[in-house]
Structure 1
Amino acid sequence: MCGICGISHSDHRTPERTSLETMTRALVHRGPDSDGFYIAPGIGLGMRRLAIIDVEGGNQPIPNEDESLWIVFNGESHNFPDLFADLVKRGHEFRTRSDSECILHLYEEYGDECVHHLRGQAAFALWDANKKRLLLARDRMGKKPLYYAVQNGTLYFASELNALLKALPQKPEVNLEAIDLYLSLQYIPDPLTVYHGVHKLPPAHRLVWQNGVATPGCYWDFSYQPKHEQSEAALIEELRSLLKESVKMRLISEVPLGAHLSGGIDSSIIVALMAELSDAPVKTFSVGFEEESYSELEYARAVAQRYSTEHHEFILKYDDIPGTLEKISRHFGEPFGDASAIPLYYISKLTREHVTVVLNGDGGDEDFAGYQRYWLDPLANRYLRAPQFLTRGLIPSIAGFLPVSSDRPVGRSLVDGLKRLHQLPEIDARASILRWGSYFSPRQRAQLWKREFRFDADNAQRLLAEKFDSAEGSFLDKTLYTDLHTYLPGDLLVKTDRMGMAASIEPRSPFLDHKMVEWSARVPDLFKVRGRSGKYLLKKAFAGDLPESVLKHSKQGFGIPIGTWFRGPLHDWARELLTGSSAGLSEWFDTGAVENLLGEHRASRVNHGKRIYALTMLALWRQGIHV
Structure 2
Amino acid sequence: MCGITGGVWFDESKAISSATLESMVQSLVHRGPDDAGTHLERLTRDAVGITPGVALGFRRLSIIDLVGGHQPISNEDDSVWMVFNGEIYNYRELHRRLEGAGHQFKSDSDSETILHLYEDLGVECFAHLNGMFAIAIWDRKQRQLVLARDRLGKKPLHYQFRDGQLLFGSELKALAAAPDFVRDISAGAIDQFLTYQYVPHPNSIYAASRKLAPGHYAVIRDNSITTDSYWKVDWSHEIEIGPREAAEKVDELLRDSIRLRLRSDVPLGAFLSGGIDSSLLVSLAQSQLEQPLHTFSIGFNEADFDETPYARQVAAWAKSEHHEYKVTPDAVSILDQLVWNYDEPFGDSSAIPTWYLCKWTREYVTVALSGDGGDELFAGYDRYRALWMSRWFDRLIPAGPLLGSSWVQGLPASNRQRSFIRRLQRFGEALNQPLARRYMNWLQIFPERMRAELYNDDFVAQLPDEDPFEFFEAAWNGVGDRDITSKASLGDLVTYLPCDLMNKVDIASMGNSLECRQPFLDYRLVEFAASLPSSLKMGYGGGKRLLRTAFDQLLPRQIWTRKKMGFGVPLGSWFQRELKDITVSRMLGDDSRLHQFFRPEAIAKLVDQHMQGKVNHCYRLWNLLVLESWLRRWN
TM-score by length of 2: 0.95
Q: Deviations over 1:187-217 (max 9, x none)?
A: 0000001011100000000000011011111
Counterpart CA distance in 1 for 2:413 and 2:361 is 35
Q: What secondary structure sits across from 1:157 in the alignment?
A: strand
8 Å Cα contact 1:15-1:40 kept in structure 2: no
Deviates more, 1:18-27 or 1:574-583: 574-583
- Write the letter of the residue equivalent to 1:112: V
Tell me if 1:418 matches 2:424. yes
Tell me if 1:508 matches 2:511. no
Deviates more, 1:230-239 or 1:424-433: 424-433
Task: Report the number of matched residues.
Answer: 621
1:623–1:428 CA distance, 2 compared to 1 (3 A): farther
- Deviation (angstroms), 1:71: 0.5
Counterpart CA distance in 1 for 2:523 and 2:149 is 13
Residue 218 of structure 2 corresponds to which residue in structure 1? 207
Tell me if 1:439 matches 2:445. yes
- Deviation (angstroms), 1:401: 3.1
Deviates more, 1:215-224 or 1:6-15: 6-15
| Aligned ranges 1:139-154 → 2 under 5 Å | 139-154=150-165
Q: What secondary structure sits across from 2:609 in the alignment?
A: helix
- Deviation (angstroms), 1:382: 4.0
| Aligned ranges 1:483-562 → 2 under 5 Å | 483-562=492-571
Residue 10 of structure 2 corresponds to which residue in structure 1? 10
Tell me if 1:430 matches 2:440. no
| Aligned ranges 1:555-574 → 2 under 5 Å | 555-574=564-583
Counterpart CA distance in 1 for 2:123 and 2:395 is 50
- Write the letter of the residue equivalent to 1:607: N
8 Å Cα contact 1:375-1:532 kept in structure 2: no
Tell me if 1:24 matches 2:25. yes
Deviates more, 1:474-483 or 1:267-276: 474-483
8 Å Cα contact 1:30-1:502 kept in structure 2: yes
- Write the letter of the residue equivalent to 2:194: L
> Structure 1: any 5+ residue segments left out of the alignment?
none
| Aligned ranges 1:121-200 → 2 under 5 Å | 121-200=132-211
Q: Deviations over 1:103-157 (max 9, x none)?
A: 1110111111000110010110011111111110000000001001112201111
Residue 37 of structure 2 corresponds to which residue in structure 1? 36
8 Å Cα contact 2:430-2:439 kept in structure 1: no
Residue 252 of structure 1 corresponds to which residue in structure 2? 263
2:327 equivalent among 312, 316, 320: 316
- Deviation (angstroms), 1:390: 6.0
1:324–1:129 CA distance, 2 compared to 1 (3 A): same
- Write the letter of the residue equivalent to 1:7: G
Q: Deviations over 1:512-543 (max 9, x none)?
A: 11001001011111111101401110122122
Tell me if 1:119 matches 2:130. yes
- Deviation (angstroms), 1:384: 4.4
> Structure 2: any 5+ residue segments left out of the alignment?
43-52
8 Å Cα contact 1:446-1:457 kept in structure 2: no
Tell me if 1:479 matches 2:479. no
Deviates more, 1:19-28 or 1:435-444: 435-444
8 Å Cα contact 2:7-2:54 kept in structure 1: yes
Counterpart CA distance in 2 for 1:458 and 1:133 is 33
Counterpart CA distance in 1 for 2:21 and 2:466 is 41
Deviates more, 1:609-618 or 1:166-175: 166-175
Counterpart CA distance in 2 for 1:112 and 1:26 is 29
Counterpart CA distance in 1 for 2:79 and 2:444 is 52
8 Å Cα contact 2:182-2:206 kept in structure 1: no
1:460 equivalent among 465, 468, 475: 468
1:457–1:615 CA distance, 2 compared to 1 (3 A): farther
Deviates more, 1:187-196 or 1:527-536: 527-536
| Aligned ranges 1:65-464 → 2 under 5 Å | 65-318=76-329, 320-384=330-394, 386-387=396-397, 391-392=400-401, 395-406=404-415, 408-409=416-417, 412-421=418-427, 423-424=429-430, 428-431=434-437, 433-437=439-443, 439-454=445-460, 455=463, 459-464=467-472
Counterpart CA distance in 2 for 1:237 and 1:529 is 18
Q: Deviations over 1:322-353 (max 9, x none)?
A: 11110111111111010000011011111111
Counterpart CA distance in 1 for 2:180 and 2:291 is 51
- Deviation (angstroms), 1:495: 0.1
- Deviation (angstroms), 1:591: 1.6
- Deviation (angstroms), 1:456: 7.4
Q: What secondary structure sits across from 2:59 in the alignment?
A: strand
1:432–1:221 CA distance, 2 compared to 1 (3 A): farther
Q: What secondary structure sits across from 1:206 in the alignment?
A: strand
Counterpart CA distance in 1 for 2:403 and 2:278 is 42
8 Å Cα contact 1:190-1:201 kept in structure 2: yes
Q: What secondary structure sits across from 2:549 in the alignment?
A: helix
- Deviation (angstroms), 1:165: 1.4
- Deviation (angstroms), 1:232: 1.7
- Deviation (angstroms), 1:378: 2.7
Quick one: percent identity of the two aligned structures?
Answer: 40
- Deviation (angstroms), 1:418: 2.1
- Write the letter of the residue equivalent to 1:446: A
Q: What secondary structure sits across from 2:304 in the alignment?
A: helix
- Write the letter of the residue equivalent to 1:624: R
Q: CA RMSD in A?
A: 1.8
Counterpart CA distance in 2 for 1:307 and 1:229 is 34
Q: Deviations over 1:431-455 (max 9, x none)?
A: 4652213611111111111132225
8 Å Cα contact 2:387-2:439 kept in structure 1: no
Q: What secondary structure sits across from 1:240 in the alignment?
A: helix
- Write the letter of the residue equivalent to 2:505: T
Deviates more, 1:160-169 or 1:274-283: 160-169
- Deviation (angstroms), 1:391: 3.0
8 Å Cα contact 1:335-1:617 kept in structure 2: yes
- Deviation (angstroms), 1:312: 1.4
- Write the letter of the residue equivalent to 2:558: S
1:441–1:599 CA distance, 2 compared to 1 (3 A): same
Counterpart CA distance in 2 for 1:457 and 1:9 is 32
Q: What secondary structure sits across from 2:564 in the alignment?
A: coil
Tell me if 1:588 matches 2:594. no
TM-score by length of 1: 0.96
1:432–1:59 CA distance, 2 compared to 1 (3 A): farther
Counterpart CA distance in 1 for 2:507 and 2:452 is 31
Counterpart CA distance in 1 for 2:437 and 2:129 is 32
Counterpart CA distance in 2 for 1:426 and 1:156 is 46
Counterpart CA distance in 2 for 1:331 and 1:613 is 16
1:394–1:121 CA distance, 2 compared to 1 (3 A): closer
1:199–1:231 CA distance, 2 compared to 1 (3 A): same
Residue 47 of structure 2 corresponds to which residue in structure 1? none
- Deviation (angstroms), 1:395: 4.4
Counterpart CA distance in 1 for 2:432 and 2:601 is 24
Deviates more, 1:57-66 or 1:372-381: 372-381
Counterpart CA distance in 1 for 2:239 and 2:588 is 55
- Write the letter of the residue equivalent to 2:473: A
Q: What secondary structure sits across from 2:345 in the alignment?
A: coil
- Deviation (angstroms), 1:426: 6.7
Q: Deviations over 1:455-481 (max 9, x none)?
A: 579712222112211222222222222
Counterpart CA distance in 2 for 1:511 and 1:133 is 34
8 Å Cα contact 1:181-1:187 kept in structure 2: yes
Q: What secondary structure sits across from 2:298 in the alignment?
A: strand
Counterpart CA distance in 2 for 1:158 and 1:495 is 17
